[in-house]
């Protein structure tokens, strides 16, 4: 297993060249967040990832977690590393200074989070969920809840969880059985939640559970759901953890991957009832929870980028060292990186990761403008863009990471199937990403049903117009014209698929479900093509400078994407336009 090295230049390229970081720096909210400052911060985040977190990745995978009494013990070194994470204020990067945050762009947080997830995804999941809970309280919490909980959450001194799923209710939250009963200024929560990531552990002094549940007299269905804050320890008047609340871990799951991230069954209110506090208004629980979920979905897509990067680094290092066979040109013994098929696999891993990173970082960039834009119109435009991109980031990146990490195993050959190389761990750790925070099928249905059909393609049209502007620019460059032509064709194919859905979306109740996944994958590959095309522009402009080697590598990645990966979008488009009928016609008798 190679040592993880944060890809600082790759991340800097996306932040400062592919995206316009200067535009963020010019917003009133980020006037002090200069490229020099954020670059220095990200350099330190990379060092922390490589030196503190990365050595724990294998330890966490082999040791896992275990229950001791009412707590979950994390693997050796985890609690100490997390305390260093808190001491260095890493979670506070993009948080509100009013509550102890540093007020930097969310894009900076996301870039740092990529490194942490590459280094040790299991550990990175803990602050990821805390950050989502902070967003939820900032958007929907009362001033009392904000004042009493946000300062410790922002530092990471307290961690947070998301409690939705129950044994009988996975994605269908309308049938939740956990109940909340009003009692004075709080509620008594009773019920059981499953699949709760970092639901119990020994790294933080308090754990704040964000719990979705109907009140005892609520109407049935999603409209009856409310959201509650349920602390593990009820805070004293001075803010320190006090009495233990009536919430405990029942068990932890034995999983395929992310072994060091406890996935808990949590029991609320087995005795007197767990004390909880309402977030938002009664019945608005699902809307409030989506603030947390959308944050999580973007960062789960980022996990795809991060694990793809880590798998690529390990595969590349192994390919440069492993001697096997002979060089077909010289006849001499060859390292496997000299073989054409290994080169194909490595470049596929790199090219996919480059495209995924561009898409995901644009999602974070859009989030910054939707919340801190210069005027309402700018905020509205970027809000629509953020909403459009979020399901694509989550689903496309987590589909591709399964392929990238599988290729990582393949590059290692037989050794990839052996745990000690680490390649198998990346493959196992990545597999959950396409499942949790809403399966990729749910993301696809969201893209088509809630994003495309609801606004009749308006947000997608705006996005495609930007793609076509880039295509036009490239078509005017003799060297890059083939890329521009291919990008234009891909954009038009995506428009064709969208038009087909808009024209037939009401034809059958199963229609959306039958076409959604293939449409999302079409959009993913086309969107990835746009970021790669913009990469080509920047690389062509910089290739005669001091970083010639870097930009040559970028152009090689772009050309590989356009010739060997972008063509995949056509098959997905064909499956939308020509394959909808069979999808609609399928029923249980077909199996």
Catalytic residue list: 437
Secondary structure (DSSP) of 301-351: HHHHHHHHHHHHHHHHHHHHH-EEEE-TTT-SEEEGGGSHHHHHHHHHHHH
- Residue at token pair 């009692």: 183
- Given the DSSP bridges, would you call strands 186-197 and 179-183 parallel, antiparallel or unpaired? antiparallel
**Torsion angle (degrees, nearest 10) of CA 291, 295, 296, 298:** 140
**Contacting residues for 566 by C-beta, under 8 A, at least 6 apart:** 486, 490, 525, 526, 528, 529, 532
- Please tell me the distance from the alpha carbon of residue 162 to that of residue 431, in angstroms, as a whole number: 20
Question: Could you give phi then psi for residue 241, rounded to 5 degrees?
Answer: -65, 135
Element (H, E) at 159: strand 158-163
Which two tokens mark 37? 């400052």
CA distance 521 to 532: 16
Handedness of CA 118, 124, 127, 132 (dihedral sign): positive
Residue 345 CA to residue 342 CA, distance in Å, equals 5
Site of tokens 């959604």: 516
Helices marked H in 334-422: 340-372, 376-412
The rounded distance, in Å, linking the Cα atoms of 80 and 60 is 13
Q: How far is CA 238 from CA 274, 374, 519, in A?
A: 21, 39, 53
Q: Contact, 125 vs 258, CB < 8 A?
A: yes
């Amino acid at each position: 297993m190679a040592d993880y090295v944060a890809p600082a230049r790759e991340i800097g390229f996306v932040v400062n060249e592919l995206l316009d970081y200067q535009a963020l720096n010019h917003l009133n909210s980020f006037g002090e967040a200069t490229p020099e400052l954020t670059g220095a911060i990200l350099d330190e985040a990379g060092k922390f990832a490589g030196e503190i977190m990365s050595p724990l990745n294998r330890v966490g995978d082999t040791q896992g977690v275990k229950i001791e009494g009412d707590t979950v013990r994390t693997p050796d070194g985890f609690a100490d590393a997390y305390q260093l994470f808190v001491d260095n204020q890493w979670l506070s990067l993009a948080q509100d200074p009013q509550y102890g945050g540093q007020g930097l762009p969310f894009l900076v947080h996301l870039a740092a989070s990529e490194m942490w997830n590459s280094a040790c995804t299991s550990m990175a999941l803990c602050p990821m969920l805390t950050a989502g809970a902070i967003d939820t309280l900032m958007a929907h919490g009362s001033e009392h809840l904000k004042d009493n909980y946000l300062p410790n959450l922002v530092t990471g001194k307290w961690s947070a969880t998301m409690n939705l799923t129950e044994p009988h209710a996975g994605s269908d939250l309308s049938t939740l059985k956990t109940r909340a009963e009003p009692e004075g200024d709080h509620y008594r929560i009773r019920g059981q939640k499953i699949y709760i990531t970092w639901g119990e552990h020994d790294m933080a002094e308090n754990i704040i559970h964000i719990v979705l549940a109907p009140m005892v007299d609520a109407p049935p269905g999603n409209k009856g759901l409310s959201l509650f804050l349920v602390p593990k320890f009820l805070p004293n008047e001075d803010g320190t953890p006090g009495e233990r609340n009536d919430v405990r871990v029942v068990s932890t799951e034995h999983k395929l991957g992310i072994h060091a991230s406890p996935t808990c069954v949590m029991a609320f209110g087995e005795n007197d009832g767990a004390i909880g506090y309402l977030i938002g208004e009664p019945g608005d629980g699902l809307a409030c929870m989506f603030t947390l979920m959308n944050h999580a979905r973007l960062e789960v897509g980022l996990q795809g980028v991060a694990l793809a990067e880590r798998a690529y680094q390990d595969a590349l290092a192994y390919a440069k060292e492993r001697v096997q066979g002979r060089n077909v040109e010289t006849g001499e013994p060859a390292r496997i990186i000299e073989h054409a098929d290994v080169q194909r696999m490595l470049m596929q891993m790199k090219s996919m990761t480059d495209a995924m990173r561009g898409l995901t970082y644009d999602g974070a960039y859009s989030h910054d403008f939707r919340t801190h834009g210069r005027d309402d119109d700018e905020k509205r435009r970027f809000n629509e863009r953020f909403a459009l991109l979020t399901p694509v980031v989550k689903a496309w990146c987590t589909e591709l990471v399964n392929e990238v990490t599988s290729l990582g195993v393949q590059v290692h050959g037989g050794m990839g199937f052996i745990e000690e190389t680490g390649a198998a761990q990346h493959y196992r750790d990545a597999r959950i990403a396409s499942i949790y925070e809403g399966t990729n099928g749910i993301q696809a249905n969201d893209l088509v049903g809630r994003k495309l059909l609801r606004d009749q393609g308006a947000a997608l049209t705006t996005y495609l117009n930007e793609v076509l502007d880039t295509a036009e620019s490239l078509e005017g460059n003799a060297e890059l014209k083939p890329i521009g032509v291919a990008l234009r064709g891909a954009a038009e194919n995506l428009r064709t698929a969208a038009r087909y859905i808009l024209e037939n979306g009401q034809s059958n109740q199963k229609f959306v479900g039958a076409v959604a996944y293939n449409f999302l994958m079409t959009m993913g590959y086309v969107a990835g093509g746009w970021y790669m095309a913009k990469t080509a522009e920047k690389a062509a402009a910089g290739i005669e400078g001091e970083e010639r080697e870097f930009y040559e590598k970028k152009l090689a990645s772009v050309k590989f994407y356009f010739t060997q990966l972008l063509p995949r979008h056509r098959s997905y488009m064909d499956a939308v336009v020509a394959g909808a009928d069979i999808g609609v016609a399928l029923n249980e008798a077909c199996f």
